[in-house]
Amino acid sequence: MRLLRIFFIAFGTLVYGQSVEAKDHSIKEFGAIPDTTVLSTKAIQTAIDACSEDGGTVQIPAGNWLSGTLVLRSNVTLNLQKGATLYGSRHLSDYPGNIPKYIALRTRGKAKQLIYAENQHNIAITGEGEIDGQGRFFADKSAPGVQYDRPHLIQLINCQKVLIEKVSLRNSGCWMEHYLACDDLKIIGIKVFNHSNKNNDGIDIDGCNRVTISGVNVDSDDDALCIKSTSGRASENITVSNCILSSHCNAFKLGTETNTGFKNIAASNLVIKPSVVSDKFTYGHMEGSSGLALEMVDGGILDGVVISNVKIEGTFTPIFIRLGNRARPYRDGQVISQVGQLKNVSIDNVLVTGAKNLGCSISGIPGYPVKNISLSNISITFEGGGTKDHVARAIPELEKEYPEAEMFDMLPSYGFFVRHAEDIRFSNVHLSTEKEDLRPALYLSDVTDADFGNLTIGGNPKNVCSVLAENSQNIGFNSCRIRGGSSCFLQLSGSNNRKFNLHNNALTNTKMVYNPGTTGKQEIHAIGNIR
């Protein structure tokens, strides 16, 4: 028995990385006072430092506490008990700033935070209490392209074995949580409310590896849950599940900073809905900009993203996939000469209601297509209202521009605008509009090797067509259906269209199966289509 007891003590030490002598330390023991007119920074920091010697938990009891910057240490858990609220100071002078050693886009100067750590391990922020950054008291004086001068609520850099669990986080001066170059990160069951200042992201995962995010509820002014790559590290091996995301901007996003990239990311069981508040510090509209945004614009590689079981309500653009060439460096003197890659993406089982009328887009740039994009079991209802003039709009490439779902404005299709793309698959996708829309459901431009099976399209006998294809090759439509009629199912444009297969499509009240245009050898094979 004695040997068995020794084994379990040793095993516990190995698993949790803390001494068997680890114990609790109440901040009261070190002189902290539950009074928001009294700054308790020194007392709380002393408790953290004392706890780090042997490892353990710093307890913040019920009550209201005020602090400036706190630095977490290895083997320390900061636990906010039920009824406890830790307020961030309203004075910028109480955030002296830290100059991180790790080189990244947002660490090129002093970074300000309420809770900070770099190069630490086995750290945690837990409990049923709350942290309120009082972010509305900080004016935005930051220069473009440098570190924000307003404090983040939490910023952890190059840390290992990190747990953020159950706590409620509110009102940051900037991003709520920034995890940069961290490994073995878990964010479980937290609540985030961030509507007090500009750049109020909810959660930012940046160049991290082995990340689990589950059961979080985020309501933010800026991006709700954003995965970034602002350094020489990719964000990889990340799972996101069972989350509720609300934002005036993007709900779930990979981007915008994309220097190294994203690999092996899986997200499932997401509810994306409008924010509950009307305050808009960053964006001038209530509705979210996008529900799902996958972006690569700074030379990195996005490879292997799987998203499934998503309910989206009321965004301008439910799905936005973008490969561009902004080529912004993350360190001084860096030149990015390569164009990035965006490939191997699967989005499955998505239900969208109340989408606005811009449409969705999947786009690369000339010579650099997005590749292997699969959309299946998706139903989207758009607002509608598009006209034939919108179809004739020339959509600029904007390859150097900041990527955002509204960058192209009103698209020439109400459903999906797909340009510079290769190996595209739509299976069991339903597209419809609430109001009359004369745009096609799909606009394909410079698309190679695409298959559309069991596609259901809401049509209109007065529309331009249901599908418009421009300079595209090897495109198949099988077992697709038109509801409401159409002037033409497939209309071709341009001189470089090749090999279109239209098989067994139900095109009720469609005047023409296809219009081959007037130039080039179109090679259209149409078999078994019913009108």
Which ranges of the chain have pLDDT less than 50? 1-20
- Measuring CA to CA, how many Å separate 361 from each of 156, 420, 448? 34, 11, 16
Respond yes or no on whether the N-terminal peptide bond of residue 256 is cis (omega within 30° of 0): yes
Q: Residue 511 contacts by C-beta under 8 Å, 6 or more apart in sequence?
A: 461, 486, 487, 488
The token pair at 55 is 């490892």
Q: To which residue do tokens 């297969």 refer?
A: 501
Question: What are the extents of the domains in the chain?
Answer: 1-248, 288-328+338-439, 449-531
**Angstrom distance (rounded) from CA 86 to CA 381:** 43
CA 346 to each of CA 9, 153, 253: distance values in angstroms, whole numbers, following the listed order: 45, 33, 15
Assign domain 1-248 to its CATH architecture. 3 Solenoid (2.160)
Give residue 143's pLDDT.
62
pLDDT of residue 263: 98
Alpha-carbon distance of 119 to 453, in angstroms, equals 50
User: Position of tokens 């809401």?
Assistant: 458
Backbone torsions φ then ψ of 452, nearest 5 degrees: -125, 105
Q: pLDDT tens for residues 180-216?
A: 999 999 999 999 999 999 999 999 999 999 999 999 9
**Ramachandran bin of 314, using left for φ above 0, alpha for ψ from -120 to 50, beta for the remaining angles:** left
C-alpha to C-alpha distance for 413 and 400, rounded to whole angstroms: 23
Q: What is the pLDDT of residue 103?
A: 95
Q: For residue 146, what pLDDT is reported? A: 54
**Backbone phi, then psi, for 15, in 5-degree steps?**
-70, -45
**What does the block give as tokens for 283?**
């964006």
- At position 228, the amino acid (one-letter code) is K
| Whole-number pLDDT of residue 141 | 75
Residue pair 114/138 in contact (Cβ under 8 Å)? The answer is: no
Q: CA-CA distance, 136 to 120, in Å (whole number)?
A: 30
Q: Is 525 exposed, middle or buried (0-12, 13-18, 19+ CB in 10 A)?
A: exposed
- Residue 413 exposed, middle or buried by CB count within 10 Å (0-12, 13-18, 19+): buried
CA distance 61 to 387: 61
Question: Do 90 and 127 touch, CB atoms closer than 8 A?
Answer: no
- Which pLDDT score is estimated for 283? 59
pLDDT at 23 (0 to 100)? 85
